[in-house]
């Protein structure tokens, strides 16, 4: 269990550090792979894919969702003792907490990884995506 807590803390720290670096250094977009990948500073006041839900309702929703995910993990998934599930849930906790922290205290989330014609996101968003991939993988191998 200590390893998963360390993973959560490491991912939250890395997410916060990259957002901080984007905040102080990204005043202009930087192309990494032309017409595909760039670094671009965005303040996202909405939810996933910049869907517009703002204000105190979004903060409350964020906190409620984190508690629901934690409760579900603790009561339904943890007992399966699967490394894939534990790592996956560690990633969703890190991603949710990383974005929630900014949303609650800044009213926006810093996004900076831009995939052209898709979205601008951050490491916390990547963790959430990896959680979904991990869950899909686990349940494709362990059909009930």
Q: Is 111 a catalytic residue?
A: yes
Q: What is the pLDDT of residue 74?
A: 82
Residues 40/120, Cβ–Cβ less than 8 Å: yes
**In this structure, are residues 112 and 41 in contact, taking their beta carbons and an 8 Å threshold?**
yes
Higher pLDDT, 81 or 11: 11
Which tokens sit at 55?
């204000």
Catalytic residue list contains 15: no
Q: Are residues 114 and 64 in contact, defined by beta-carbon separation less than 8 angstroms?
A: no
User: Looking up tokens 């670096």, which residue turns up?
Assistant: 21
Please indicate, yes or no, whether the overall pTM of this predicted structure exceeds 0.75.
Answer: yes
Given 111, 114, 121, 128, which residue is catalytic?
111
Both tokens of 64, joined, read 């409620």
Tens digits of residue pLDDT in 50-61: 555 556 676 777
The residue from 18, 125, 130, 131 that is catalytic is 125
Mean pLDDT of 6-28: 96
- Residue 69 banded pLDDT, cuts 50, 70, 90: confident
The answer to whether 92 and 131 are in contact (CB under 8 A) is yes
81: left (phi over 0), alpha (psi -120 to 50) or beta: left
Residues 6+ apart with CB under 8 A from 103: 58, 59, 62, 109
């Amino acid at each position: 269990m200590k390893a998963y807590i360390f993973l959560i803390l490491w991912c939250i720290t890395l997410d916060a550090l990259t957002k901080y670096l984007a905040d102080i250094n990204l005043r202009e977009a930087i192309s990494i792979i032309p017409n595909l990948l760039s670094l671009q500073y965005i303040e996202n006041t909405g939810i996933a894919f910049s869907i517009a839900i703002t204000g105190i309702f979004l903060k409350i929703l964020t906190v409620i969702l984190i508690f629901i995910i934690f409760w579900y993990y603790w009561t339904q998934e943890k007992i399966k003792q699967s490394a894939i599930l534990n790592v996956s849930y560690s990633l969703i906790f890190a991603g949710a907490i990383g974005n929630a922290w900014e949303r609650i205290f800044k009213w926006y989330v810093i996004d900076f990884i831009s995939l052209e014609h898709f979205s601008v996101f951050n490491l916390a968003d990547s963790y959430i995506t990896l959680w979904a991939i991990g869950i899909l993988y686990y349940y494709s191998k362990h059909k009930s």
